[in-house]
């Protein structure tokens, strides 16, 4: 096993997390950012947001910004803020995922019925399947096509309707432990998306696809000339306000009709996030096999950093929930990827970190203990 394996002294981020950094106290950069957010004077960024909105505010009654939404807490709460607190006229956009869940569809419809303009994009399902399958096999990303499309397809909509301002939710790298290069930048460009969010795998995957270019419209980004001509400004809401996903949940529940599932989600102790698609459970499991931390580690870290849970409580929950096999949706996965069970498990075996796991009775088991 890797000798330098360790966990953040404040939350439970692991040293295996890509692009993570630790200070001399052993605190990860997500916890350092948590401290910095509490000390920051957010007034300048609030002023920057107001100026940005005023610059793009529609004078003719047309849409002045785009908010991608899945029906979940974050996109819904941002759209609500923009419309009701800032007087903007947002167009909300959903890219339909594969293996969508009924609770996600119900939440999305509840949100739309609160008075939001909305476009639902359904990229070619066969193309999505091919990219997702290739991403699963070659990159360990079970919904790689959808991950691309929630950026590329939404930017296509922005260019098509000439709406130059686009708000995503949080910068996950900054908020949860990763690259901090964008911590003090409000703008987000395509090269950053490809390098960080797609882990430099975008071109590698597309070079292996035997798909006509015209069928990849929603999975490719607008030309640079189009982006420059439209002066498209892509940003994260978390740059302008101290991000709190739990407060987003409460806001979406109160104002947008958000509902939770009746039980906890697979692999964690929460029930109100990532409820739009079945493939997220597989994504979280492969993350666990790759790096040794799963969905419960991420959820516990969020609660620890916001002061709702002690680290010791988090450790117990991670030990209880993180190590799971995604049985619930297994038949769906096999049918979707058009794979036999042994083929599917071979892909999981490929991505299992042999320095962290050993196979026992056909299942990967950790050879480390969360401390």
Question: What's the pLDDT at 202?
Answer: 84
Residues 67 and 33 reside in one and the same domain:
no
Q: Identify whether the C-beta of residue 80 lies closer than 8 Å to the C-beta of residue 252.
A: yes
Please check the confidence at residue 330 and state whether its pLDDT lies above 80.
Answer: yes
pTM: 0.93
Domain of 219 in residue numbering reads as 43-239
Q: Maximum Cα–Cα distance for the chain, whole Å? A: 65
62 in a structural domain:
yes
Question: What's the pLDDT at 195?
Answer: 87
The pLDDT of 155-171, averaged and rounded, is: 95
Question: What's the pLDDT at 1?
Answer: 43
Taking CA atoms, 49 is separated from 5, 90, 150, 229, 336, in Å, by 40, 15, 23, 22, 42
93 three-state secondary structure:
strand
180 in a structural domain:
yes
Segment 21-48, tens digit of pLDDT: 999 999 999 999 999 999 999 999 999 9
Segment 67-77, tens digit of pLDDT: 999 999 999 99
Residues 308 and 220 reside in one and the same domain:
no
253 in a structural domain:
no
Number of domains present in the structure of the chain = 2
Please check the confidence at residue 153 and state whether its pLDDT lies above 50.
Answer: yes
Last residue of a domain, one of 212, 239, 266: 239
Residues 86 and 146 reside in one and the same domain:
yes
Give me the phi and psi of 244, to 5 degrees please.
-145, 100
Residues 228 and 309 reside in one and the same domain:
no
């Amino acid at each position: 096993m890797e000798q330098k394996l360790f966990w953040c002294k404040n939350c439970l981020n692991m040293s295996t997390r890509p692009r993570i950094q630790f200070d001399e106290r052993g605190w990860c950069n997500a916890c350092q950012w948590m401290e910095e957010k509490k000390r920051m004077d957010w007034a300048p960024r609030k002023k920057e947001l107001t100026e940005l909105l005023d610059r793009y505010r529609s004078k003719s009654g047309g849409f002045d910004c785009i908010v991608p939404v899945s029906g979940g807490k974050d996109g819904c709460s941002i759209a609500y803020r923009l419309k009701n607190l800032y007087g903007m006229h947002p167009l909300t956009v959903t890219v339909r995922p594969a293996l969508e869940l009924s609770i996600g569809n119900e939440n999305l419809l509840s949100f739309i019925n609160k008075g939001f303009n909305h476009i639902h994009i359904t990229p070619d399902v066969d193309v999505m399947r091919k990219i997702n399958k290739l991403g699963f096999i070659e990159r360990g990303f079970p919904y790689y096509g959808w991950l691309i499309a929630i950026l590329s397809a939404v930017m296509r909509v922005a260019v098509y309707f000439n709406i130059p301002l686009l708000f995503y939710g949080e910068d996950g790298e900054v908020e949860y432990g990763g690259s901090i290069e964008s911590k003090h930048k409000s703008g987000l460009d395509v090269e950053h998306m490809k390098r960080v969010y797609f882990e430099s795998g975008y071109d590698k995957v597309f070079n292996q696809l035997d798909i006509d270019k015209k069928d990849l419209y929603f999975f490719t980004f607008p030309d640079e000339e189009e982006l420059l001509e439209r002066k498209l400004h892509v940003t994260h809401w978390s740059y302008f306000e101290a991000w709190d996903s739990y407060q987003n949940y409460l806001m979406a529940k109160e104002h947008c009709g958000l509902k939770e599932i009746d039980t906890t989600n697979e692999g964690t102790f929460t029930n109100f996030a990532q409820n739009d698609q079945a493939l997220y459970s597989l994504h979280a499991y492969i993350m666990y096999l790759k790096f040794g931390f799963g969905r419960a580690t991420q959820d516990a870290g969020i609660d620890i950093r916001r002061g709702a849970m002690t680290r010791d409580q988090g450790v117990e929950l991670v030990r209880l929930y993180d190590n799971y096999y995604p049985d619930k949706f297994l038949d769906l996965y096999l049918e979707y990827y058009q794979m036999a069970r042994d083929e599917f498990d071979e892909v999981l075996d490929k991505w299992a970190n042999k320095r962290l796991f050993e196979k026992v009775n056909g299942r990967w088991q950790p050879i480390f203990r969360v401390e």
